[in-house]
Amino acid sequence: MATKGVILIGGPSKAPKPLLPIGGKPMIWHPLAALARIPELTEVFIVGFYEDALMTDFIRGAKREFPKLSISYLREYRSLGTAGGLYHFRDSLLPNLGMLFVLNADICSSFPLAELMDMHQKHRGVGTMMGVTVPKETATRYGCIVHDPASAQVLHYVEKPEKWISSLINGGVYLFDKSFFDEVKAAMDTKEKHAAEDPFGERDDILRLEQDVLVPLAAGRKLFVYESKDFWRQIKRAGSAVPASALYLNHFTKTNPKLLTAPSKEGGGPTIIAPVYIDPSAEVDPSAKIGPNVSLGANVVVAPGARVRDAIIMEGTTIDKHACVQNSIVGKHCKIGPWGRVDGAPEDPMDTKNNLNITILATEVTVAKETCIVLPNKTLNRSAHDQVLL
Ligand code: GTP
């Protein structure tokens, strides 16, 4: 009996979110690396509806990095919902299946899969989900879990309730037994039955893991929750990528500092304020200052006197001399001119509305020298010369 993993990546936006660099790695690398740490797990399916070609390079690289894993991309012909793809591809997932991890790609987490598995093996439920505690004011944005703390059994699950019912929410990480597929099939049958009873109703073939499968599983007392106390956040919008990246960089400092080796000042490198990820092919002038919470992608060039902090700089971008970039995401192959300034506002930890004021430059944007100022909350997708962008 094999343990397998699924990563749900959704689809399609022009720039595939699962490949956005977070903590110096594509977003989807983090759940994949977590699955690779489970000794008995050898098969991973990435399920989404992006074009196959978009995933090819990532999967090729991932197979080299995690040679024990067989990794395949299962492409839905269109959005089938968070459980629809699992149902649609059941013939690929079911053979010899023991347990199945299902991981959302759009979260930032330490993915405590071994602990989740440990707990799953101690009860007789169909599934175990990872729960995380969020501030009471934000809880209704998520799937909320009411559970029995003694047994960890989920008593009630409500996706985005109108009123607060619990601050323990669905963290988007699950482990299911094979019998989970019976529950998915039952949910599909219920949906089809309702559709048959209401011939004029709206039709779709979307099956939602949360509302259509977890709700009845909880009602049938077949679902348990593992409470993670570790870091967690959702990466819904591109703006949440900078704080998520900071969380991963901090995590790597403690768990895998080798991933973060940067040239030292003593060795002739730039001034680094950790944590920072610098791709080995990036060129950073010794008089530049980088960090904290910065990731510099492949072939990024940072010129003399430049300053970068709280930022994701994607591959091929040049930051010219004395330019300053902070609280921003700079897309691939951008050029920030000399003395240019790309400036977002830092995250407000007390902000419960999730307002992020990150500045985002799309691919191949040029910010001309000196005179260009980009103010917070802007997405710039064209070149700007001698303008103040309000
Ligand atoms: P909201 O409900 O939008 O607040 O977000 P959520 O993160 O709770 O759930 P959502 O259903 O949007 O996504 C959970 C994960 O499933 C994410 O990683 C999505 O990219 C992915 N996902 C969403 N819809 C689909 C789908 O139709 N097919 C596949 N394969 N993945 C999906």
297-341 pLDDT, tens per residue?
Answer: 999 999 999 999 999 999 999 999 999 999 999 999 999 999 998
Tell me what pLDDT residue 266 has. Answer: 67
Output the CA 48–ligand 1 centroid distance in Å: 9
From atom 29 of ligand 1, which residue's Cα is the shortest distance away? 10
Task: Break the chain into its structural domains and give their ranges.
Answer: 2-234, 270-385
Question: What pLDDT was estimated at residue 18?
Answer: 93
* Ligand 1 pocket mutation pick from 6, 8, 184 by most atoms within 8 angstroms of CB: 8
User: Looking at residue 16, what is its pLDDT?
Assistant: 78
The larger pLDDT score, comparing residue 199 to residue 307, is at: 307
3-state class of 319 per DSSP? strand
Average pLDDT (89-110) is 97
- Per the DSSP assignment, residues forming a β-bridge with 173 are 103
Give the model's pLDDT for residue 175: 98
Q: How far is the CA of 158 from the centre of ligand 1 (A)?
A: 16
Query: 5-19 burial, b for 16+ CB within 10 Å, e for fewer?
Result: bbbbbbbeeeebbbb
pLDDT band at 198 (very low <50, low <70, confident <90, very high): confident
Ligand 1, atom 30, residue with closest C-alpha: 48
Q: Does the structure show a pLDDT above 90 at 259?
A: no
**Nearest residue (CA) to ligand 1, atom 1:** 142
For a pLDDT cut of 90, what percent of the chain falls above it?
Answer: 75
Mean residue pLDDT of the chain comes to 90
At 388 the pLDDT is 53
Q: Is the pLDDT of residue 262 over 80?
A: no
Which ranges of 198-280 would DSSP assign to H, the alpha helix? Answer: 215-219, 241-255
Quick check: 354 pLDDT over 60?
no
Which residue, judged by its Cα, is nearest atom 32 of ligand 1? 10
Q: Residues lining ligand 1, judged by CB closer than 6 Å?
A: 8-10, 47-49, 76, 79-82, 85, 104-106, 172
Most confident of the ranges 92-101, 265-274, 328-337, 380-389:
92-101
H/E element, 21: strand 21-22
Which pLDDT belongs to residue 356? 59
What is the residue with the minimal CA distance to atom 9 of ligand 1? Answer: 82
Q: What is the pLDDT of residue 349?
A: 53
- 12 pLDDT band, cuts 50/70/90, is confident
Please tell me the distance between residue 134's alpha carbon and the centre of ligand 1 in angstroms.
19
Identify the pLDDT of residue 143. 98
For the cut 60, the answer to whether the pLDDT of residue 203 exceeds it is: yes
CA distance 93 to 102: 11
Nearest protein CA to atom 19 of ligand 1, as residue: 10
Q: Do 299 and 281 touch, CB atoms closer than 8 A?
A: yes
pLDDT at 83: 97
In angstroms, the CA 90 to CA 100 distance is 12
In which residue are the tokens 């910065």 written? 294
- Is domain 2-234 annotated with CATH 3.40.1400.10? no
CA distance 119 to 225: 9
Q: Cα torsion at 166, 168, 169, 173 (round to 10°)?
A: -150
The residues with which 72 forms a beta bridge, in sequence order, are 45
What are the tokens at 310? 């709280």
Closest atom of ligand 1 relative to the 79 alpha carbon: 27
CATH H superfamily, domain 270-385: Hexapeptide repeat proteins (2.160.10.10)
Return the H-helix or E-strand segment holding 283: strand 283-284
Residue 209 CA, closest ligand 1 atom number: 11
β strands within 67-222, DSSP E: 70-75, 97-104, 107-109, 127-133, 143-148, 153-159, 168-177
pLDDT at 129 (0 to 100): 98
**Residue 85 CA: which ligand 1 atom is closest?**
30
CA 104 / ligand 1 centre spacing (Å): 7
Residue 355 has pLDDT above 60, yes or no: no
Question: When comparing pLDDT for 359 and 273, which is higher?
Answer: 273
pLDDT more than 70, % of the chain: 89
* Per-residue pLDDT tens over the stretch 366-386: 877 764 555 555 556 666 655
